[in-house]
Amino acid sequence: MHNLRVFAHFIRGSFLAVARGSNGYYIWLLALGILIAFGASAYHNQLTHGLITSHMRDQVSWGFYIGNFAFLVGVAAAAVVLVVPAYVYNWGPIRDVVLIGELLSVAAIIMCMLFVTVDLGRPEFVWHLMPIVGTPNFPHSLLTWDILVLNLYFLLNWFVVTYILFTAFKGHKYNPRIVLPIIFLSIPFAIGIHTVTAFLFMGLKTRAFWHTALLAPRFIAGAFCSGPALIFLIFRVLQKFGRMQISEAALFKIGELLAYAMALNLFFVATEVFTEFYAPTSHTIHAYFQWFGLHGDASIAVYTWAALGCNVLALIIFMVPKFRLNLLVLTAGCVLSFSGIYIEKGMGLLLPGFTPDSLGEVYVYTPSLNEVLVGIGIWAIGALLFTWMARVAIAITKGELRLQRS
Amino acid sequence: MANGDHEPDGDRHPPIQLTIWAVIALAVVAIAGLFTVRLEHHPESTRDYPPRPLIADGEVTLLPAPEVPDDYLPCGDCHDDVERETGPTPRELEFEHEDTKLAHGNLWCLHCHDSANPNNLRLADASLVSFEDSWKLCTQCHGRKLPEWRAGVHGKVTGNWRGDREYVTCVFCHDPHSPPTKPLEPKPRPRRPEEIVLRADRSGGA
Amino acid sequence: MGIFSRSKQAQEQPNGASKGSSRREFLKTAATVGAGAAVGAPAVASAMDFDFESFMQKNFRELSDQELQAVIERLERKYSKQYDKQVDVSAIGPMDGVLYGYGLDISRCIGCRRCVYACVEENNLSRDPEIQWIRVLEFERSAALREIKLEDGNPYYDHEQVPAEGKFYIPIACQHCEDSPCSTVCPTGATWQEPDGIVVIDYNWCIGCRYCMASCPYGARHFNWGEPNLPAEDVNPDMHIIGNVPRSRGVVEKCTFCIQRVRKGRMPACHEACPVGARKFGNLLDPNSEIRYLLDHKRTFVLKAELETHPKFFYFWGTEGRS
């Protein structure tokens, strides 16, 4: 009972921590609020008229929403990659900031769930998927697996974060016997959620572009390029605006990790290109569309080459010590890496899978304004949730938000 | 968290760590198990239907051939006239039959029609068949079509797949003087995906 | 007093907020959130028409006989009223000893698309946005030493007369695969194969995730992107609950071999409409059926055999002919 009262104070304190801040903070909230309002309005438009407000059609039945979903699952998984050096190798400089990574995971998973929800034709019937009340086609359908593991992963991260912050709020140290097993569990879980998401695509034998064993390793490699890059950028922002102390050693370590990840990712790209173009089959037409376009429309190809450029540039920055150890250049490298993977794993994954479609038709899909607005709205929601959680976390770790016994 | 100590020293209190792991594993299994509660609804399962025997089969009937145009019948009325010579050599047709397009391989009128018995058709062995049984003449040369036509694979069987059904004779689809089926005007093409847009009036439903 | 406190340095905030204002801030934020929810919820509800019974309806495979009867009556009432016709919704089950198969003679098909439109009328397909369950691909014959692929097919041909010179036609709809990828991937179990071989969809159970569409190798599944438009005068009132009942926005639909017809012994609408007899249909388990005859006597092939979906739609050449 006592704990419940204390938890209520924790909630209240958290609420106050996010309700007050500098002018810059309010402007940030306002900007996000505007984007969310646009997104909500666009989603209302979609609910009113149907998914016809998107540019998805029978020929390309998944697009912008699922592309973002696939990318964000990677971000959620890779946020936990920092956990490995922090706890397994007991590396102090990263231990201090691993909590931010967990918070990013939570925000990313929420964004994933939102992206899937807005993609549904009848979201009000999503209860059909749930056990007991619905009839989930488990274990045959990979989507049911995905929902299961994403929710479990979300709960794991949510529990760890809340527990650590709550105990710190109370002025105690968290009990490693509770936290560490869960953190250790979250490492294979992180790989697991992203592998299940990859299986979702790989399990479709009709989509030759995805029906490859390489997709799961590529997903992981891409995740490790984008997740830590985003964490790096967030750290920089928190250093500047969040009054957070982050050692340079931690930041440079992320840069080092990214070097390995990006090298691996580019290696996978090279193996894909070799397989498709050295010994072409009728399936190569999807890769051809990805790199060169089809039927006079090369818009996707521009993005593919741009992504490659970003990634190669990012690799150079991560690998060359002169660049990696320069915070400004490293920041640019992280922006490049994040953008490159966003293109590669978002639309760069979805579109070539569907173009040409099962009957060989080429419909070049680009997201509609409505889709993009909904997507921006969801990213803004994620940013908002992350901002609020980070504010609470920072306030607690800095000792500003504490339970006071009178 | 701020006091960076600690390696995981679970060995000092193994039962607690073990308990945590066990609880986590149990939770995962339990939640996964919940999903399998409806395992019987996998793709192979269907509704519990009561037995329903095959409905009765029906009769197979051969529909009568379409009528020959009235003004040509009966052929014998004109071709009885001794003065209308029925020449055996292929030539340009005149008078009544100039509107008959003849394009049946290298066949000519008297390959199928009999000059002495204009109200009948003539088979290869010189026996006569009525216009009603013209299929017997067609299948003399187009022998392969006969069993296929009977089975429904050539041409079309209308009616029910289980129940009464009908066949039609060759001349129903094929003009015997110009047998290849005529081209048709196709129905409109489907909408392209980019042509499928929200209707201008933005109204829904019927 | 203060169960909540801040350390000394934190109290000196740039905007000098005092303790008293914290309560005001709290109330302000709470009010904004509450207002947002109050505006948002009815807006969302209004965007979706809410029918409680239909919302709570179970998966078709789980309905008891009484529940199914209630559903049928509700649908008949609803559609009779909506379309101003006496609508009959059947839930007739499969016959024993029947496995439907379809044959298509590509030496005969002239690409006239009468099957496409017969299907549209029979199965109450949306006119605008247009949905067609059958797609006829036109191919160029003799690809000059190069193989013919599906990419070479053109569904948008627009000639004055068909068949066009040098072309042949392949109509494609649901193949009712014995090992259908769509029923495997559907997360809610809204699509499955019936005992008589027809792959069906429970339109009320589908959540519109379109995973099945991603998995179908034949482009046979179609989505209601917008509100379907079905003029009352065009409605076919002889319906089957997992066949040709009008669908709602946001669900997937496809050919059902005209389940409302074939389970009563009738031919599918496309079969009846074909003017050249290119379509064959029957019971694969009956050795005397026309479908078995063509499997026994003609060289048949299926589309994308390498995917091992085992379609029950067989293409063949009935004749050498001029095609």
Q: In the listed set C90, C108, C133, which residue is the last one of a domain according to the structure?
A: C90
Q: Tell me: the pLDDT tens digits for C249-260? A: 999 999 999 999
- Classify residue A192: in a domain, yes or no: yes
Indicate the helix (H) or strand (E) that contains C238. strand C238-240
Which residue shows structure tokens 């818009």? A299
Give the highest mean pLDDT range of A2-6, A55-59, A245-249, C164-168: A55-59
Which residue shows structure tokens 């495979």? C61
Structural contact between residues A231 and A101, judged by C-beta atoms closer than 8 angstroms = yes
Question: Please, which residues bridge with residue B160 across strands?
Answer: C266
Domain tally for chain A?
Answer: 1
Q: In the listed set C90, C110, C134, which residue is the last one of a domain according to the structure?
A: C90
Chain A contact for B23 (CB, 8 A cutoff): no
DSSP secondary structure string for all residues of C268-322: PHHHHH-TT--EEEEETT-TTSHHHHHHHHS-EE-TTGGG----SEEEE-S--S-
Q: Tell me: the pLDDT tens digits for C198-251? A: 999 999 999 999 999 999 999 999 999 999 999 999 999 999 999 999 999 999
Neighbours of chain B (3+ CB pairs under 8 A): A, C
Percent over 90 (pLDDT), chain C = 73
- Classify residue A245: in a domain, yes or no: yes
Q: Select from B159, B161, B190 the Cβ nearest to the Cβ of C282.
A: B161
What CA–CA distance (Å, rounded) separates C39 from A108?
Answer: 26
Pinpoint the alpha helices (H) of A120-175. 142-169
C186 vs A4, residue with greater confidence: C186
Which CATH number covers residue C310? Answer: 3.30.70.20
| Residue C41 confidence class, pLDDT cut points 50, 70, 90 | low
> Hey, how many other C-beta atoms are within 10 angstroms of the C-beta on C132?
19
| Residue A1 confidence class, pLDDT cut points 50, 70, 90 | low
Same domain for C247 and C117: yes
Q: Write out the E strands in C126-173.
A: 135-140, 167-172
The mean pLDDT value for C66-80 works out to 94
Flag whether pLDDT at C21 surpasses 70: no
Structural contact between residues C312 and C300, judged by C-beta atoms closer than 8 angstroms = no
Chain A contact for B31 (CB, 8 A cutoff): yes
| Residue A396 confidence class, pLDDT cut points 50, 70, 90 | confident
3-state secondary structure of C41: helix
Model pLDDT, residue C6 = 40
Neighbours of chain A (3+ CB pairs under 8 A): B, C
Chain B partners within 8 Å of A183 (Cβ): none
Same domain for C134 and C56: no
The mean pLDDT value for A374-378 works out to 98
Structure token pair of residue B98: 């100039």
Question: Please, which residues bridge with residue C193 across strands?
Answer: C199
Same domain for C27 and C148: no
Same domain for C52 and C154: no
Same domain for C51 and C107: no
Structure token pair of residue C210: 């379109």
Search chain B and give the residue with CA nearest A365.
B194
Least confident of A239-248, A338-347, B47-56: A239-248
Flag whether pLDDT at C272 surpasses 50: yes
How far is residue A230 from each of residues A36, A108, A309, A338, A369, measured CA to CA in Å? 21, 11, 19, 7, 25
Model pLDDT, residue C285 = 96
- Classify residue A403: in a domain, yes or no: no
Domain tally for chain C?
Answer: 2
What CA–CA distance (Å, rounded) separates C182 from A351?
Answer: 20
Model pLDDT, residue C5 = 37
This prediction has a pTM of 0.88
Best to test chain A binding among C126, C211, C218 (most A CBs inside 10 Å): C211
Flag whether pLDDT at A319 surpasses 70: yes
Structural contact between residues A108 and A115, judged by C-beta atoms closer than 8 angstroms = no
Angle at which helices A98-119 and A64-78 cross, to 10°:
160
C-alpha C9 chain-centroid distance:
64
Q: In the listed set C90, C110, C141, which residue is the last one of a domain according to the structure?
A: C90
| Residue C147 confidence class, pLDDT cut points 50, 70, 90 | confident
Which residue range(s) make up the domain with C102? 94-323
CA dihedral B181, B182, B185, B191 (to 10 degrees): 30
- Classify residue A103: in a domain, yes or no: yes
Task: Give chain A's mean pLDDT.
Answer: 90
Q: Which of C155, C144, B197 is nearest to A357 (CA)?
A: C155
Same domain for C79 and C26: yes
- Classify residue C266: in a domain, yes or no: yes
Q: Select from B31, B42, B194 the Cβ nearest to the Cβ of A137.
A: B42
Q: What would you measure as the largest C-alpha separation in chain B, in angstroms?
A: 127
Pinpoint the alpha helices (H) of chain B. 14-36, 75-79, 109-112, 134-141, 145-151, 170-173
C49 vs C137, residue with greater confidence: C137
Structural contact between residues A163 and A177, judged by C-beta atoms closer than 8 angstroms = no
Chain C partners within 8 Å of A64 (Cβ): none
Which residue range(s) make up the domain with A143? 2-397
Q: Tell me: the pLDDT tens digits for B152-176? A: 899 888 999 999 999 899 998 888 8
Structure token pair of residue C304: 């994308």
How far is residue C112 from each of residues A328, B189, C158, measured CA to CA in Å? 65, 10, 10
Flag whether pLDDT at C1 surpasses 70: no
- Classify residue C1: in a domain, yes or no: no
Q: Select from B47, B160, B206 the Cβ nearest to the Cβ of C61.
A: B47
What CA–CA distance (Å, rounded) separates C4 from C1?
Answer: 9
| Residue B43 preceded by cis peptide, ω within 30 | no
DSSP-derived secondary structure letter, A35 = H
| Residue C12 confidence class, pLDDT cut points 50, 70, 90 | very low
3-state secondary structure of B201: coil
Structural contact between residues C237 and C86, judged by C-beta atoms closer than 8 angstroms = yes
Model pLDDT, residue B132 = 87
Q: Select from C93, C249, C265 the Cβ nearest to the Cβ of B55.
A: C265
Same domain for C128 and C13: no
Same domain for C172 and C56: no
- Classify residue A179: in a domain, yes or no: yes
Flag whether pLDDT at A222 surpasses 60: yes
Chain C contact for A60 (CB, 8 A cutoff): no
Percent over 70 (pLDDT), chain C = 82
Which residue shows structure tokens 């948008």? C156
Which CATH number covers residue A168? Answer: 1.20.1630.10
Model pLDDT, residue A125 = 95
Structure token pair of residue B165: 């059904």
Q: Which of B182, B174, B178, B129 is nearest to B156 (CA)?
A: B174
Question: Sign of the C-alpha dihedral, residues C184, C189, C193, C199?
Answer: negative
Q: Tell me: the pLDDT tens digits for B84-123? A: 566 667 776 666 666 777 888 888 888 888 878 878 899 9
Model pLDDT, residue B103 = 82
- Classify residue C290: in a domain, yes or no: yes
Structure token pair of residue B35: 């999903």
- Classify residue A126: in a domain, yes or no: yes
CB contact under 8 A, C277 and B46: no
Distance from CA of C262 to the nearest CA of A (A): 27
Task: Give chain C's mean pLDDT.
Answer: 87
The mean pLDDT value for C60-77 works out to 92
Same domain for C120 and C50: no
Same domain for C33 and C134: no
Same domain for C303 and C245: yes
Question: Please, which residues bridge with residue C223 across strands?
Answer: C252
- Classify residue A106: in a domain, yes or no: yes
Flag whether pLDDT at A215 surpasses 70: yes
Best to test chain B binding among C213, C267, C289 (most B CBs inside 10 Å): C267
CB pairs under 8 A between A and B: 81
Chain A partners within 8 Å of C227 (Cβ): 49-50
| Residue A369 confidence class, pLDDT cut points 50, 70, 90 | very high
Q: State phi, psi for A175 to the nearest 5 degrees.
A: -85, 110
Q: Select from A59, A178, A397 the Cβ nearest to the Cβ of B1.
A: A397
How far is residue C299 from each of residues A385, C173, C296, measured CA to CA in Å? 62, 20, 8
Amino acid at B206: A
Same domain for C201 and C161: yes
Q: Tell me: the pLDDT tens digits for A43-57? A: 999 999 999 999 999
Model pLDDT, residue A138 = 82
Model pLDDT, residue C103 = 96
DSSP-derived secondary structure letter, C198 = -
Search chain A and give the residue with CA nearest B21.
A181
Structure token pair of residue A369: 């304004």
Burial profile A123-152: b = 16 or more Cβ within 10 angstroms, e = fewer: bebbebbbbeebbbbbebbbbbbbbbbbeb
Q: Tell me: the pLDDT tens digits for C283-296? A: 999 999 999 999 99
Contacts of B42 (CB under 8 A, 6+ apart): A137, A140, C189
Cα distance from N-terminal residue to C-terminal residue, chain C: 95
Model pLDDT, residue A131 = 86
What CA–CA distance (Å, rounded) separates C121 from C230?
Answer: 10
Amino acid at A262: M
Q: Tell me: the pLDDT tens digits for A144-156? A: 999 999 999 999 8
Pinpoint the alpha helices (H) of chain C. 8-11, 19-47, 52-56, 65-83, 114-122, 181-185, 211-215, 259-262, 269-273, 290-297
Search chain B and give the residue with CA nearest A46.
B198
Radius of gyration of chain C, Cα coordinates, nearest whole angstrom: 27
Model pLDDT, residue C20 = 44
Chain C contact for A401 (CB, 8 A cutoff): yes
Model pLDDT, residue C323 = 44
3-state secondary structure of C190: coil
Best to test chain C binding among B38, B156, B175 (most C CBs inside 10 Å): B156
- Classify residue A406: in a domain, yes or no: no
The mean pLDDT value for C13-41 works out to 53
What CA–CA distance (Å, rounded) separates B61 from B167?
Answer: 6
| Residue B180 confidence class, pLDDT cut points 50, 70, 90 | confident
